[in-house]
Amino acid sequence: MDSVNPILLIFAHPRPQQSRINRALISALEGLEGLTLVDLYEEYPDFLINVTREQKRLQEHQLLIFQHPFYWYSSPPILKEWLDVVLEHGFAYGEGGTALHGKDFLHVISTGGDKQAYQPSGYHGFTIPDLLRPFEATALLCGLRYHTPLLLQGGFSMSDASLAHEASAYRNLLVNYYRNGRTVLSSR
């Protein structure tokens, strides 16, 4: 049972109205063909995630995207809750847990600080790929193909023009994926 849409975007931001970058990214995707957008905070304000519905969504799509701000070197809490309850043993991993095998995974992350801050010598002392290791491990255990994360950094200082540029690049990437499949994503 495949959905007509190959792309599943799981979006998590507790206050999207206050996020310049995420607002820009999401509105850039408006009306995009082949995209299913799930706004976790809008859909589950009480964190009571409908596991059956979410698993069905996963099965019906080919590309799974997590888009969220980089809160304390990780995701907002609802996405962790989503991982904990949706990626069940026997569904996503373990015996018979092959539902996600061979599907694609892409992380789209916005940070306030710029690239230099995320270096071993920088303000935060680690690179973002380092900090995303738990997500990468999760993806691998579930048999997902892990692609190079899409990073939107320097959110506090990014000009409107470059934000618009980033946003349309994001849209183009997804359009390309819809037309040409996974070859458009770069693997590490």
Partner 1 sequence: MAETFLIFLVVVLGAAVAIVPLTSRLGMGSVIGYLGAGILIGPDGLGLIKQPDEILHLAEFGVVMLLFLIGLGLNPRRLWSMKKAIFGLGLSQVLATTGLIFAGLLAYGWSWEQALVVAMGFSMSSTAIAMQMIDEQGLKTHPAGQNGFSILLLQDLAVIPMLIFVALLGQAPLAANDKSSGQQIILSIIAIAAIIVIGRYLARPVFRWIASTRLRELSVGFSLFIIFSISLLMHYVGLSMALGAFLAGVILAESEYRHELEANIEPFKGLLLGLFFLAIGMTVKLDLLVARPLELFTLLVTLLSAKLLVLAVIASFFKMDKRNIIVLAILLSQGGEFAFVLFGEAVRVSALTADQGALLNAVVTLSMLTTPLLMFLFHKFVAFRLQLSEPPHDEIHSEGHPVIIAGFGRMGQIIARLLGTHKILCTVIDHNPSQIDFVRRFGLKVFYGDASQIGILEAAGVKDAKLLVITIDHQETVNRLVTEVQRLYPHLPIVVRARDRTHTYQLLDLGLKNIERETFGAALSMGQMALKVMGVSTFEAHRIALRFKAYDLNMIKRLYPIHRDEQQIISQAREARESLERLLTQDMEKNRQPGATGWD
Return residues touching partner 1 (CB under 8 A): 14-22, 41-43, 45-46, 69, 71, 110-112, 155-156
Q: To which residue do tokens 């934000």 refer? A: 163
Q: Do residues 111 and 151 touch, judged by C-beta distance below 8 A?
A: yes
Reference 34, options 56, 70, 5; nearest CA is 5
| Measured distance CA(79)–CA(115) in Å, rounded | 24
Minimum Å distance from CB 44 to partner 1? 9
Minimum Å distance from CB 108 to partner 1? 13
Q: Among residues 112 and 143, whose Cβ is nearest to partner 1? A: 112
Q: Among residues 117 and 175, whose Cβ is nearest to partner 1? A: 117
Count the neighbouring beta carbons within 10 Å of the beta carbon of residue 30. 9
Q: Among residues 72 and 186, whose Cβ is nearest to partner 1? A: 72
Minimum Å distance from CB 89 to partner 1? 24
Q: Among residues 33 and 43, whose Cβ is nearest to partner 1? A: 43
Q: Do residues 99 and 59 touch, judged by C-beta distance below 8 A?
A: yes
Minimum Å distance from CB 29 to partner 1? 18
3-class state of residue 103 by DSSP: coil
Q: Do residues 170 and 29 touch, judged by C-beta distance below 8 A?
A: yes
